[in-house]
Amino acid sequence: MTETSTRMDVLGLFPAGTQLAADGVLTIGGCRLDDIAAEYGTPTMIVAESALRQRARDYLREFRSRWPRSDVAFASKSFPCTAIQRVMAQEGLHLDVAGGGEIVSAVAAGADPARMVLHGNAKTDEEIQMAVDSGIGLVVVDNFDDIDRLERLVPRGHNQACLVRVIPGVAATTHTSVATGHVGSKFGLLPGDARRAISRIERSAVLHCAGVHTHVGSQLLSAGELAAAVAPIAALGTFEVYDLGGGLGVRYTYAEHPPSLAEYAEAMVEQAHELLPGDSRIIVEPGRSMGAASACTLYRVTTVKRGPVTHVAVDGGMGDNLEVSLYGQRFEATIADRVGGGREVSLVGRHCESGDELISSVPLQDPRVGDLVAVPVTGAYCYTMSNQYNGARRIPVVFTADGVARLVVRRDTWADLLSRDV
């Protein structure tokens, strides 16, 4: 493979519109990565705002052109940043919120609670009360205890719309930690129990069963596996709403080739046309496939240790990207001003764990101390799982658009590390 083709492959993993400046420096949203590092430091997560907005518009177009009564609910858990949720709301998306914290940030983002879907397999009284007080549009019933809490906390005279989450019995081809649709999953109810839950909700004085929900898993590279979840919920009866979940995979590496958004929408809606009432409303809940490719994380090389394996250490790691350690997710990377090519090295983090390896056997072109390293496709689950291991300060989030960079989440201060001490 030539250096030129390698460079093009690398650019294909970065947000749409990413270019090289005349001197070879990566630019995202029209902003040079070296300028962003100079202003905001490293590590920093960079989000191409225009690419994110366009992805939201594309999702709505692909589904509504095939099924007019479609809604897209952004899975906030993938990037529960107020600025991200605000973009989704501005683009006309609903929000899928998992727990009280995501309710709080979504409300702060200005999202309409009536356009929110509350998830969670272990909702507390406090979270149910927050949902009721906020006016959450749909509460997903994951178990019979949810029904107990809702009947106790929803005031008389109110009619809370619910969806019953169903285990579809689909064994997803993905990491076991993000598979959710198999028999034995901690999420949802098997069809027999789901029927009992539906019947109980329909008899309730304060609850209304608007429909059913299902979800197969995350980072699925087969549209067929995603579409296979429609039949099990269709078999439960006729409802106003069928929530088909999310799970579409994204391209993290050169070797991965997930279905296109159009292919995914076609597979899901084809099943909907065959199995669901034509006047029903369908909801899809993209998270990873909505935001992952719109962001990258920028690091600075602190150490290069040569030996049987060349270790290139950067100033971040598992504190800002836990997906590698948790799921074994593969990423790619490049030197920000020497894009593509190079010999394979081990890109490692700063944390005191041998497992803190961001990417093994990744080609980097002549890495040196002080270089900027950009890792693409970090716009899902990296921010939300960030942590302060070894006293690391959680990293900032910077939006870029039309050559302007703006801070939307600041970096932790040293004082933040002590802020919860009493």
384 phi, psi to nearest 5 deg: -70, -25
In sequence order, the 6+-apart residues with CB closer than 8 A to the CB of 81 are 105, 383, 397, 408, 409
Q: Label the pairing between strands 372-376 and 334-335.
A: antiparallel
Query: What is the 8-class DSSP label of residue 266?
Result: H
**Tokens describing residue 359:** 């990417």
DSSP notation for 1-49: --HHHHHHHHHTTSPTT-EE-TTS-EEETTEEHHHHHHHH-SSEEEEEH
**Tokens describing residue 399:** 């939006």
Q: Which pairs count as long-range contacts for 221-225, CB under 8 Å and 24+ apart, including other chains?
A: 221/173, 221/249, 221/256, 221/257, 221/258, 221/259, 222/173, 222/259, 223/248, 223/259, 223/263, 223/264, 223/266, 223/267, 223/268, 224/267, 225/170, 225/172, 225/173
**Helices and strands per DSSP (H, E), number in the chain:** 13, 20
Residue tagged active-site, from 162, 209, 352, 382: 352
Residue 378 · residue 321 · CB < 8 Å? yes
Residue 352 annotated in active site: yes
**Tokens describing residue 228:** 């296979």
Q: Label the pairing between strands 281-284 and 241-243.
A: parallel
Tell me the CA end-to-end span of the chain in Å, nearest whole number. Answer: 58
**Tokens describing residue 303:** 């150490």
Among candidate residues 108, 50, 51, the one with its CA nearest the CA of residue 76 = 108
DSSP notation for 242-255: EE----B----STT
H or E segment to which residue 72 belongs:
strand 70-75
Residue 154 · residue 198 · CB < 8 Å? no
Q: Which pairs count as long-range contacts for 88-95, CB under 8 Å and 24+ apart, including other chains?
A: 88/56, 88/290, 89/115, 90/53, 91/53, 91/56, 91/57, 91/60, 92/56, 92/60, 93/56, 93/59, 93/60, 94/137, 94/283
Indicate which residues carry an active-site annotation.
Answer: 352
